[in-house]
Structure 1
């Protein structure tokens, strides 16, 4: 995880406003969200030679209401670059049971928070600056 200084840090909006803005810029809600907070995630790209996925991740912390409720007031946290280093081969521990096939078919990541090259940090900063100039709140 590489934190990136941003004018978005500390900005507020309703969940609905933030969701619509980030959705229009190809962000998705990260899969591990709950009522106490979540992330607006943008998949920046993949480096297949290194087996890495790159994400720009912006935390959303509810100040009033719950994350996911349209009217909840959400404060944005410090954006960061997150790198997942995945296995290029099959997972030897995967199970061949019908009821767990959906969960067991994919290999575990080698690293959930791998390092990033200076080039990926630069790309992420550039994308973040574009988002900052278009951010309509605050």
Structure 2
């Protein structure tokens, strides 16, 4: 995990505003959210390791399943997950095998992040700042 400094850290937004501005840029709300916290994730690359830029957020007024919830953005970071390659690289395992593989644990949940991806993450966060901060 590599923390990325950003001007959006500790800023408060209605969640729908973040969704309206970040989803068109390729961010998705990660499936590992709960009622108090969640993450906007952007997959940067997959070269045998998945590289993600993750922007965490926490509910400050309401809960994440509540319309109109307000959230505070926490420090963004880069994350690298190295997944085990399946027994069948050609895909002959079919849909059933794919259904099981999507839930596999990473071989290395905190793989190293090369400098080129750190720079890419910083560039993406500069764009996020322009989208979210007035006058940026």
Question: Taking structure 1 as the reference length, what is the TM-score of the superposition?
Answer: 0.82
CA contact (8 A) 1:35 1:68 kept: yes
Secondary structure in 1 matching 2:42: strand
Shift of 1:68: 3.7
Q: Which residue of 1 aligns with 2:40?
A: 40
Shift of 1:101: 6.0
Q: Name stretches of at least 5 consecutive residues in structure 2 with no aligned partner.
A: 89-95
Q: 1:76 aligns with which of 67, 73, 79?
A: 73
Shift of 1:136: 4.6
Paired with 2:130 and 2:99, the residues of 1 have a C-alpha distance of 40
Shift of 1:54: 0.7
Q: Matches of residues 1-138 of structure 1 in structure 2 within 5 Å?
A: 1-47=1-47, 51-90=48-87, 104-106=100-102, 107-136=104-133
Q: Which residue of 2 aligns with 1:96?
A: none
Q: Deviations over 1:30-52 (max 9, x none)?
A: 111011110011111112xxx10
Q: Name stretches of at least 5 consecutive residues in structure 1 with no aligned partner.
A: 92-99
CA contact (8 A) 2:8 2:133 kept: no
Cα pair distance change 1:19/1:70, threshold 3 Å = farther
Shift of 1:104: 2.9
- Shift >2 Å, 4+ stretches: 88-91, 100-108
Q: CA RMSD of the aligned region, Å?
A: 2.3
CA contact (8 A) 2:21 2:131 kept: no
Paired with 1:10 and 1:22, the residues of 2 have a C-alpha distance of 17
